[in-house]
Structure 1
Amino acid sequence: MAAINLHHLRLFRAVALDGTLTGAARVLNLSQSALSTQLRALEASLGHALFERRGRGLHLTEAGQIALDHAEAIFRTAEDLTATLHQTGTARRALRVGALATLSRNFQMQFLRPVLGRADVEVVVRSGSQVELLRGLETLALDVVLTNAPPVHDAHSPWMVTALAEQPVSLIGTAARVGRQPRTIRDLLASEPLILPAPDTALRAGFDALSARLGVIPAIAAEADDMAMLRLLARENAGLAVIPPIVVADELQSGLLREAARLEGMREYFLAVTRKRRFPNPLLAQVLEIAQTGDVGQLAAVSVDPS
């Protein structure tokens, strides 16, 4: 295999960042034909097409995205070297993680812990809606999406869903609201104001089904689509929160909040969504392997502020 020409790599990065030959050629002060010729030479050297044309723009192929990641690492290292002679730059591989904005921060931190602090790894975390994150996964801007809502999957779907962990769901509130004497779930739901997940969440669907089975119409004190906000509302004594205990692990340990009852039949599922790739990120395989061996499943032993 021919050695990579760093000049070609620099030109490739310029085209990747601009998205067009015209714009990149203008910035580089080259003709489009000369730039195109040198890109083809790089593709021949690597043995893979780096771009595909969509309309008037150029979009990175999977091989192109990987090449861009390595190009960025190479040029960062070169910049480190020229900036200082006593501190050599180290190429870092990026792990790009998307996390549903409403997902437990405890779970996210535990998932990332195996690569946090590694000198050879740069962790990039983006939060957003399920639609936004899956779009990032589709365009290779993300390596994995952490969610509690499985995406729609059919024969044409590129998604691969890995179950990482599951957690119970409880009614949780201040000691004063929970009281000293145990009460039934029906009594708690009928007599206490409740802090509920937003209507469009899986947790809320499960809670509504439970309430219907028990024949209870709950008094809703607040709704939130964010676990951290559910936690804060419970701390403010706005009512009993329907929430996985791991989200408020610190408060339960300190006694600031108490578990009034476990909501049997309700579970919070944590999933990793990836897409089929010819060149998967090797870091992702390592993290998923650790998660599937059970380390992420031991969330109840972890105390991380979810705010």
Structure 2
Amino acid sequence: MSELNFHHLRYFHLVARLGNLTRAAEQLNVSQSAVSTQIRLLEERLGQPLFERRGRTLVLTEAGRIALDHAETIFATGEELLNTLGERPSSRRQVLRVGSLATLSRNFQIGFLRPLLGRDDVEIVVRSGALGDLLKNLEAQRLDVVLSNIAPPRDAATPWISHTIAEQPVSLIGTPERTASGATFQELLVGEPLILPTVETSIRSGVDALFDRLHIRPRIAAEIDDMAMIRLLARDGVGLAVVPPIVVKDELASGELVEVDHFPRLTEIFYAVTLARRFPNTLLRELIAGVADRPG
């Protein structure tokens, strides 16, 4: 088997970074056809198309994205050799690109990523946003995984894979002052102001169904789509929060907040959303495979 031609790889690396053959040719001081030839030879050697054309822009295929990651590792290794022999510090790191729903619990995100946090050989990039934008970035291979408490619909056009990585109970939680009256769970639901997730959430639909069964008209202090904001309002005593305990685990541990009770048959499910890929990120595989062995 013939060896990989690093001259081809260098041309590919520059085109991948610029997304344009003409600009790459100008920087290399060669003709555009010469660059195209080098890319074609590399694709033939690897047996995979590395680019697809969208208008005037070249976009990496999945194989192209993998090739780029390896090319950058190869060139970084060469630089590391120079740094090592020149007695200059350097390091190489694997990268995991994570998209996270902007309203998702920070405690949950940290818990999922904890096995990789602090590792010298790993860099974690986390980008928050709306689910639609995150899924577009996942499809474009700018993200390796999207963390969400909403499972996106799956069909032939959008074949998302939603890995269930946690299921948390939903509880009624508040300050000791608001929960010290000795009132029952149902009495607190009737008598105390409530901090609720917004109507778009799965938690809210379950809570509203319970209110309907019990003929309760809740006193709503606030409707919030951000778990971090719910946490702050609960700590400030604005009302009793309807929230998974993981969101306020530090406050529960310190006694700043108290858990009254779980809502019956109501949970929040957390997902790691991916796409089927021929070359999945090994760090992501490691995280998902280890979920079953971690405490909930």
TM beyond 0.5: yes
After TM superposition, the structure 1 stretch with the greater mean CA deviation from structure 2, 61-70 or 107-116, is 107-116
Partner of 1:106: 107
Partner of 1:254: 254
Residue ranges of structure 2 left out of the alignment (5+ in a row): none
After TM superposition, the structure 1 stretch with the greater mean CA deviation from structure 2, 25-34 or 74-83, is 74-83
Partner of 2:216: 216
Describe the SS at the equivalent of 1:216.
coil
Deviation at 1:80, TM superposition (A): 4.0
Describe the SS at the equivalent of 1:12.
helix
Partner of 1:120: 121
Partner of 2:200: 200
Partner of 2:137: 136
CA contact (8 A) 2:170 2:262 kept: yes
Partner of 2:165: 164
Describe the SS at the equivalent of 2:293.
coil
Q: Which amino acid aligns with 2:217?
A: I
CA contact (8 A) 1:81 1:88 kept: no
CA contact (8 A) 1:94 1:122 kept: yes
Deviation at 1:86, TM superposition (A): 2.7
Partner of 1:152: 153
Give, in whole Å, the separation in 2 of the partners of 1:117 and 1:73: 21
The answer to whether residue 276 in structure 2 is matched with residue 273 in structure 1 is: no
Give, in whole Å, the separation in 2 of the partners of 1:81 and 1:224: 52
Residue ranges of structure 1 left out of the alignment (5+ in a row): 300-307
CA contact (8 A) 1:195 1:221 kept: yes
RMSD: 1.8
CA contact (8 A) 1:76 1:89 kept: no
Deviation at 1:114, TM superposition (A): 1.8
Give, in whole Å, the separation in 2 of the partners of 1:170 and 1:47: 54
Identical residues among aligned pairs (%): 57
CA contact (8 A) 2:83 2:89 kept: no
Give, in whole Å, the separation in 2 of the partners of 1:199 and 1:30: 59
Q: Could you say if the C-alpha distance between residues 88 and 184 of structure 1 is closer, same or farther in structure 2, counting changes exceeding 3 Å?
A: closer
Q: Structure 2 length as normaliser, TM-score?
A: 0.93
* CA deviation vs aligned residue, 1:237-261 (integer Å, no higher than 9, x gap): 1111111011111111111001123
Describe the SS at the equivalent of 1:165.
strand
Give, in whole Å, the separation in 1 of the partners of 2:262 and 2:234: 16
